[in-house]
Amino acid sequence: MKRLIRAACFLSLVLFSGSVSAQDRIAVATLNGETIWLEEVMRAVEGLPQEYRQAPMDSYFDQLVAEVIDTKLAAAAGYESNLNKDEAVAQAMKMAADRILAEAFLSATINSQITDEAIAAAYDAFVADTASREQVTASHILVETREAAQEIIAKLNDG
């Protein structure tokens, strides 16, 4: 039953993602008073290998929620033990944050420039530019052995 409710929540998020506001967020779990939201789990889905993402979400949703919870618990323990103040850890955290920010910036910049009109124009230019593409025609005779191939080559060379 829980899986069905979670799958319905996921489906409603996908269907209405354009109109979801901060007030309409879907809670999937609570951990030490902190809510774990469906969008956090969906971000975790993006990190999965393609073969998992192609499987029905209800087959791995509970495990993914548990993984998000485990990560939050381990991170909280890391903060409690002041690992975030270790120079190497702090530097790695900063680099990860910088990488995420850079990826978000580049994605937003690129996506703002990709329009249906730009795609259509690029396609039309590609189709019109046939001169720059070389057409190659190949013919093959496949035989079982090298000797048979050499006999055929000799016959062709002899005319």
| pLDDT digits 0-9 by tens, 1-31 | 444 444 444 444 444 444 445 567 999 999 9
Give the predicted TM-score (pTM) of the model.
Answer: 0.54
Same domain, 9 and 69: yes
pLDDT at 21: 55
Same domain, 31 and 107: no
Q: Domain limits at 115?
A: 84-127
Asked if residues 57 and 10 have their Cβ atoms less than 8 Å apart, the reply is: yes
Would residue 138 count as lying in a domain?
no
The model's pLDDT over 97-118, given as tens digits with 9 standing for 90+, comes to 999 999 999 999 999 999 999 9
**Rg of the Cα atoms in the chain:** 28
In whole angstroms, what is the distance from residue 1 CA to residue 5 CA? 6
Same domain, 10 and 70: yes
In whole angstroms, what is the distance from residue 16 CA to residue 76 CA? 32
Same domain, 72 and 88: no
Same domain, 3 and 73: yes
In whole angstroms, what is the distance from residue 9 CA to residue 60 CA? 15
Instruction: Specify the number of domains making up the chain.
Output: 2
Would residue 18 count as lying in a domain?
yes
Task: Determine whether 112 is exposed, middle or buried from the number of CB atoms within 10 Å of its CB (0-12, 13-18, 19+).
Answer: exposed
